[in-house]
Amino acid sequence: MSETTTKSVTVSAPDVLQITPLENAPFGARISLPAYAQDPADLNEDDFQRLYKAVHEYLVVVLPDLAELKPSSQYQLTKRFDPTCEGAYGHSKEFRHEKSVLRRDGHSTPAQPQVQILGQGRHDGHAGVRDLLLRHPTHMSFHHDPLSNDDMANGYTRFYRWHIDSALYGLAPPVVTTLLGIDCPVDKRQKIRYEDTGEEITTTKATTAFASGAIAFDNLSDEDKEFALNTTVVYAPHPYIFISPAKATSDGLTMVSEGKELPLDELPEWEQSKVKRLPLVWTNPVTGKHHMQVHGCCIWKLETPNGTLELEDARNTIHRLMRHNISPDHIYCHDWNQGDLVIFFNRGVWHSVTGQFEEGGHRLMHQCNIASDVDPVCKK
C-alpha cells in the first residue's frame, strides 16, 4: 500500500504582461507590466512577444505610470519592435529644413537623439537642454481656413493633420511610434466640429486622435477595396518641403489644391530612386488584416488600375476614401495622463494632434520612432 501525502500549495498570479482591451473605444488596450519589469525595456522575450502581438492586434496600447522612463529605455523598446531598423530617427535631416512643415515639431534629447522632446512652453534644463521653447503644432498655421478667434475662445479646435509617422522620402516608415506623456495637463475640454456633417465631439485638451487603417479598409465598398488593393501611392520628393506653401483641408486629411506646392526644381536636391512608392493597403504581419495606410497631405500621385491620377485628382480620391474613417464612432482619442506611454502600430493606424494652448500653457512629451529598413507590403 502506497503512502499519500498532502501538501499545501500557494498559487500566485502569473508574473506576466497583462492586456486589457479599452472599453468604449473601437480599438486599443491597456497594458500592465509584470512586476519584474518596472522598465518596459527590461521585458523578457516572452512578455515582449505578448506586447508585440498586442500592438499589432489592438493598434494603440497604453502603459501607465512611466513618467520617469529614460530616453535610452524608450529608444531600446522602440527599436525592439523592428529588427531591421538601424537606429536612425524616422525622419531624415530634412525634418529640420527651414521650409519643412515639421521644422518646429520637437527637439532631440542630447543623450538619445532618436527621442524627440515635444510639447508646449518653456522648459529649462529638461533632459539637459537649456532654455527649450516648445511649440505645440496647431491647425492655425496649417489649415486653409482656420477657426476664428471666437470659435477657439469657445473651445473649438481641429484635427491638425491625420498622418503616419514617416519621412516618405528615401526612408521606410517606422513600425511603431512610442509617445510618453511626461507633463500633460488635462484640466480642460475641447470640441471638434466636423464641418461637412455638423457632428461634434468633446475631448480632453490636446488629445491625440487615432483612426484604424483596418476599419478604414473594412468599411470600403467592394469596388473601393479592389481599387485600394491595386493602387500605389507615390509621395512627393521631400514631401514636407514640397507642401510647405500649401494649406490643408479643414479636417486635416489632405491639402487644398491651388497650385501652391514648391516647384520640383526649387526643392533640395532629390533623386528619383528615393521617391517613395508604397501600396495603398498594407498587410498587418500578425493578424493578416488589410490596413488602408496613406499620408493624405504628402501624396503626389496615385497609380491606379485605371491609370495615374495627378496631384489634385489623387488628393480628391484619397480624401473620399479616408473621410468616413475619422467619424466620431471610428476614432479613439487618447486622454493623456501623466506617465502614459502610448505605443502605436504606425503601419496600422493614422493619428492626429489636436488642440491649441493659451499663452503660458505647458506640456512635455517624448516621442520616438525609427525608420525601418523594409517597406510595408500588401499581401493580396
**Site of interaction with Fe ion (CB under 5 A):** 165
Strand 307-309 and strand 277-279: pairing? unpaired
Which has the closest alpha carbon to 290: 374, 192, 220, 208? 220
Which has the closest alpha carbon to 200: 208, 210, 211, 189? 189
Nearer of residues 47 and 165 to Fe ion, judged by Cβ: 165
Q: How far is the CB of 351 from Fe ion (least distance, A)?
A: 6
Nearer of residues 165 and 251 to Fe ion, judged by Cβ: 165
Q: How far is the CB of 265 from Fe ion (least distance, A)?
A: 29
Nearer of residues 178 and 250 to Fe ion, judged by Cβ: 178
Q: How many other C-beta atoms lie within 10 A of the C-beta of residue 196?
A: 10
Q: How far is the CB of 369 from Fe ion (least distance, A)?
A: 8
Q: How many other C-beta atoms lie within 10 A of the C-beta of residue 235?
A: 21
Nearest-10 Cα torsion for 86, 115, 32, 211 = -90
- The conformation of residue 145, written as its DSSP 8-state character, comes to S
Residue 108 CA to residue 120 CA, distance in Å, equals: 15
Which has the closest alpha carbon to 304: 291, 173, 323, 294? 294
Find the residue with minimal CB distance to Fe ion: 165
Instruction: Let me know: does 370 contact 172? Beta carbons within 8 Å.
Output: no
Residue 242 CA to residue 229 CA, distance in Å, equals: 27
Nearer of residues 323 and 351 to Fe ion, judged by Cβ: 351
Nearer of residues 94 and 165 to Fe ion, judged by Cβ: 165
Q: How far is the CB of 312 from Fe ion (least distance, A)?
A: 25
Q: How far is the CB of 217 from Fe ion (least distance, A)?
A: 21
Q: How far is the CB of 344 from Fe ion (least distance, A)?
A: 9
Q: How far is the CB of 208 from Fe ion (least distance, A)?
A: 8
Query: 380 has which bridge partners?
Result: none
Nearer of residues 295 and 301 to Fe ion, judged by Cβ: 295
Nearer of residues 178 and 249 to Fe ion, judged by Cβ: 178
Q: How many other C-beta atoms lie within 10 A of the C-beta of residue 367?
A: 22
φ, ψ for residue 342, nearest 5 deg: -100, 125
